[in-house]
Structure 1
Amino acid sequence: MNDLFPSKREFWDLGRRFFDDALGENMANLTSFKTDIIEKEDAYIVEAELPGMSKDDIELDYHDNILTIRGRQETEKNEQDEERKYVRRERSSRSFSRQFIIQDIDEDAIKAKFDNGILEINLPKIHPTPTKSTKIDIE
């Protein structure tokens, strides 16, 4: 009999579950993207999946040890049916920005390529020279 009536917790989760199921996955895809960061001996490789984007929609920046990937995509769709006098015009826009802290990078040697929806950024490492340690005597 208890199965017939939702508990308070189920009731309050109803709205969240409804929107998660109806919009959650699609809404998440509009604002984020899948990214892998691979560490190799001499570089970090960042691979980001950006399907449907063009390289002109993407902006990359590396400043103060922070890699920023930004994008903006606008689409417009027009449909007309002269027989029914039906007109539909849709516009959509999405933008995203993600930042990653990646240190000890040779900023002048960073390279990026975009092919078939995959952005690959090569961030060559600089190997900092070890600092000299000085023992201090206590008087």
Structure 2
Amino acid sequence: MANALMNRNDGMLDPFDRMVRNFWTPFETMTETLKTDINETDDQYQVKVDVPGIDKKDVKLAYRDNVLAIKVQKDSFVDHEDQKQNVVMNERHSGTLQRSYMLPNVAADKITATQADGVLTITLPKTAPAKNAGQIEIQ
């Protein structure tokens, strides 16, 4: 048992190893940043996306071929010119986050979106599905 504990290397004693592992963590979890809830009723879809600290001008929405696409550009302020050396850590970063959702039978010209308190709400009214959708009659 003691031998197994001594041979285990999980970076607890090596600060460089911990630093390298922690460096990549924000990039590994980046796809999880656009947390989304989608609710469906008979007449609409409602999509809520967490976008804390994002200005609405940095959010791009598109609906094409039954797919809602959300793209968010995040740019953070980085000040490396601290003359008093007061900055201990800076974890903010820049990047683009995007997600797509298949939401069929939507009236694209009636989609609305609002953003308040760090939550983007997109309402997609449904249209009646085409009769015999996907069915092709052979003549």
Same fold, TM exceeding 0.5?
Answer: yes
The CA deviation string for residues 19-45 of structure 1, in whole angstroms up to 9 with x for no partner, is 9x8468744553331100000121000
Residue 41 of structure 1 corresponds to 42
Contact 1:106 1:125 in 2 (8 A): yes
Q: Which residue of 1 aligns with 2:14?
A: none
TM-score after normalising by structure 1:
0.69
Instruction: Determine whether 1:5 maps to 2:7.
Output: no
Equivalent pair of 1:30/1:95 in contact (CA under 8 Å): no
Partner of 2:125: 124
Alpha-carbon RMSD across the aligned residues, in angstroms, is 3.5
- Secondary structure of 2:100's counterpart equals strand
The correspondence of residues 1-139 of structure 1 with structure 2, limited to 5 A, is: 1=1, 4-5=3-4, 22=22, 26-27=26-27, 30-32=30-32, 33-78=34-79, 79-81=81-83, 86=85, 92-131=93-132
- What's the CA shift for 1:92? 3.0
**By percentage of residues, which structure has more strand?**
1
CA distance in 2, matches of 1:48, 1:23: 26
Which whole-Å deviations, capped at 9, do the CAs of 1:51-101 have from their partners, x for residues lacking one? Answer: 1111011000000000000011112233533xx5x597x783121110000
- What is the total number of aligned residue pairs between the two structures? 123
Does the Cα contact within 8 Å between 1:31 and 1:94 map onto a contact in 2? Answer: no
Partner SS state of residue 51, structure 1: coil
Per the TM alignment, residue 49 of structure 1 is displaced from its structure 2 partner at its CA by 0.5
Percent identity over paired residues: 30
